[in-house]
Structure 1
Amino acid sequence: MKATEWLVPRAEGLYCAPGDFFIDPLVPVPRAVITHGHADHARPDHGAVLATEETLAIMRLRLGEDRAGATQQPLRYGEELTVGGVRLRLEPAGHVLGSAQAVMERAGTRAVVSGDYKRAPDPTCRAFAPVPCDLFVTEATFALPVFRHPDPLREIDKLLRDVKLFPDRTHVVGCYALGKCQRLIALLRQAGYDGPVWLHGALRPLCGLYERFGVALGDLRPATEAAKGELCGGIVLAPPGAIADRWARRLADPVVCLASGWMQVRQRAKSRGVELPLIISDHADWDALLTTCREVGAEDIWVTHGREDALIHALAGFGIRGRALRLIGYEEDETA
């Protein structure tokens, strides 16, 4: 039996029939395997939830104890268990803290659901590990040849040079609360920036969670408690929605920045009023997608939540069967 026969796309999401569980289901289900804590993958009110310990902690923080799963089972990377004759394990996805690929084996065949992933180094989470398989389900957020992301440290250097150039202004960087915020801080520290990083209040809880899991972020301070002059020459991180609203007006002549893979598209930066776009993505770019699809050696690759057509066309050139799942409900995040 092929993996394409026992892993089935359904309205609720991808369904492992012999194990009787869904991967990242879109609606409440009795049994769910969750790849990571972003809201379009980790939804509330499932029955039994299996994920990494970090992802479960993120779900409890964001959804509340009573909505993160009636029962919660943590699974360490590489640890294996058998569910309905299916051997299941989780391997790192390199996307955010605790992110994982779901690896399922049955009757000598293996299917891997990537969740969201990236191949670029990230000091805040375990690096992506390609797993050879017969069926690979990949995301395709940046699956167009135009998307080739630069070295993130080059973008951080661009930010730090601009901070030095405009010491009387405050650089406010829009970033997603889970993953992007913590990665930016870690990259700043890696680049030698040891000053305080000022945070919008919405970003603080997840930074605290990262630190509880051993990710050191250094001197973090609440931006709302600082005097306006104290933020001159400083770096403030905030949710993307806050960088252009009244909250940002209290900052000292702010330089509006946004950290996202989409900042490679100049029109997107212009439409958001972004003065300093930072091309830093938590998803695989075009080259990384192609490299991954070839490395795993799968005969069948299913493509979901992104630009499926271009990737499927490229896979055909490698002799790989591609299929667009077109699952409804996964978001195109402006800050990906």
Structure 2
Amino acid sequence: MAPRASWIEAHPTGIYLPTADAWIDPAVPVDRAIITHGHADHARGGHRAVLATRETLAIMDCRYGPQPGQAIGYGETIRLGDVDLRLVPAGHVLGSAQAVLERGGERVVVSGDYKRRPDPTCAPFEPVSCDVFVTEATFALPVFRHPPIGGEIDRLLAVREAQPERAVLIGAYALGKAQRVIAELRRHGYDAPIFIHGAMQRLCDLYRELGVDLGELRPVADLKPAELAGRIVLAPPSALNDRWSRRLPDPVTAMASGWMRVRQRARQRGVEMPLVISDHADWDELTGTISEIAPGEVWVTHGREDALVHWCRQRQIPARELALVGREDEDD
């Protein structure tokens, strides 16, 4: 039997389609890049041509300057050499997409990063049946089972209510996580201004330009330190313990990340209130997605590749690790 998807090559720097002369999420600049979403470990600058959703191109423009790109709408099909490319939602962040590739009657889905939980800031994941499914494995261990986000937001608001003399400082990744936390706070009835670190301003503004309502956001510098008591403040994780955070009045330090399931990580970062909020699929969602899609073969990228490959093989699903380089944990 011929190997599945022999027309696709997996290199350490990305997935290559020789007959289309295109790379998917390459780690180095290339002539033609298909980009699944705007996080920096998938979307790098310097490509001669970029194919992505309108939102992902806008995010790349915001981060790297104008990109030589072609916007592809969800569900639209374009021809690259002898390969048909279609983008469908991945549910990860705004504009995130799975690359659905078809050639010679064979279909491969490169999912990029994805999650299965509802998210008011992006389109939900769309399962697509395929011969080969390329999946991430960021949280591919049974210990990672993310709780409902509503309960985490309720805990956050309860702490703020119980300790009004303290600011609530939330560490959140600047693209996707921060906007999701803000949108969920709004859904839970928090309509007061939310204060943000300057590093988050451009991306929050871009989300609003692209139609995502985040309510009133204000720079932390708008208020004197004492006036931030009882306020909710969002900042990049790197700002939680630096000089910038010292201007806040005795803050409750929180961190929104799937890694907050690991208590040692929370302690190492000095996090008083771990919030298990992730933009990646957890163990049950990874395995459930594979079961739902029922691919003939699974290729596994960054994370705990070995555990997910083992799970597949136990169920007689052929699986292998791709060992791509340059992939990072946006949640960290």
Question: Normalised by the shorter chain, which TM-score bucket?
Answer: over 0.9
* Amino acid of the structure 2 residue aligned with 1:84: G
Superposed, 1:113-124 pairs within 5 Å as 113-124=110-121
Q: 2:247 aligns with which of 236, 244, 250?
A: 250
Deviations 1:148-184 (A, max 9, x none): 0000111000000000011000010000100000000
CA distance in 1, matches of 2:154, 2:160: 10
CA distance in 2, matches of 1:285, 1:11: 25
List aligned pairs for 1:65-144, cutoff 5 A. Answer: 65=66, 68=67, 71-144=68-141
Matched residue, 1:280? 277
**Cα offset, 1:139, TM superposition:** 0.3
**Structure 1 partner of 2:291:** 294
Matched residue, 1:50: 51
After superposition, what is the alpha-carbon deviation per residue over 1:279-304, rounded to whole angstroms, capped at 9, x for unaligned? 00000000000011111111110000
DSSP 3-state at the match of 1:331:
coil
Report Cα offsets for 1:297-334 as digits up to 9, x if no partner. 11110000100111111111222111011111101344
Partner of 2:62: 61
Residue ranges of structure 2 left out of the alignment (5+ in a row) = none
In 1: Cα distance, 2:178 partner to 2:210 partner: 15
- Secondary structure, aligned partner of 1:6: coil
Paired residues for 1:167-182 under 5 Å: 167-182=164-179
Aligned to 2:14: 13
Question: Identity of paired residues, percent?
Answer: 59
Distance 2:323 2:17 in 1: 18
Check the 8 A contact 1:2/1:109 in 2, yes or no: no
Q: Distance in 2 between matches of 1:304 and 1:93?
A: 15
2:30 corresponds to which residue?
29
Question: Number of aligned pairs?
Answer: 331
CA distance in 2, matches of 1:18, 1:3: 16
The structural deviation recorded for 1:138 is 0.3
Asked if structure 2 preserves the Cα contact closer than 8 Å seen for 1:3 and 1:111, the reply is: no
Q: Is the 8 A contact 1:90 1:102 kept in 2?
A: yes
Instruction: Give the Cα–Cα distance (whole angstroms) in 2 for the partners of residues 20 and 2 of structure 1.
Output: 21
CA distance in 2, matches of 1:42, 1:216: 24
Contact 1:24 1:41 in 2 (8 A): yes
Q: CA deviation at 1:12?
A: 3.0
Distance 1:296 1:221 in 2: 43
Counterpart residue identity of residue 307, structure 1: R
Q: TM-score, normalised by structure 1?
A: 0.97
- Tell me which residue corresponds to 1:190: 187
Deviation at 1:3, TM superposition (A): 4.3
C-alpha spacing 1:3/1:60, structure 2 compared with 1 (3 Å): farther
1:235 equivalent to 2:260? Answer no
Q: Tell me if structure 2 keeps the 8 A contact 1:24–1:42.
A: yes
What TM-score do the two structures reach when normalised by structure 2? Answer: 0.98
The separation in 1 between residues aligned to 2:17 and 2:34, in whole angstroms, is: 10
Helix, strand or coil at the partner of 1:139: strand
Q: Secondary structure at the match of 1:4?
A: coil
Shift, 1:40, TM fit: 0.3
CA deviation map 1:206-257 (0-9, x unaligned): 0110011110000111112211222111100001011111101000111111
What's the secondary structure of 2:164's corresponding residue? coil
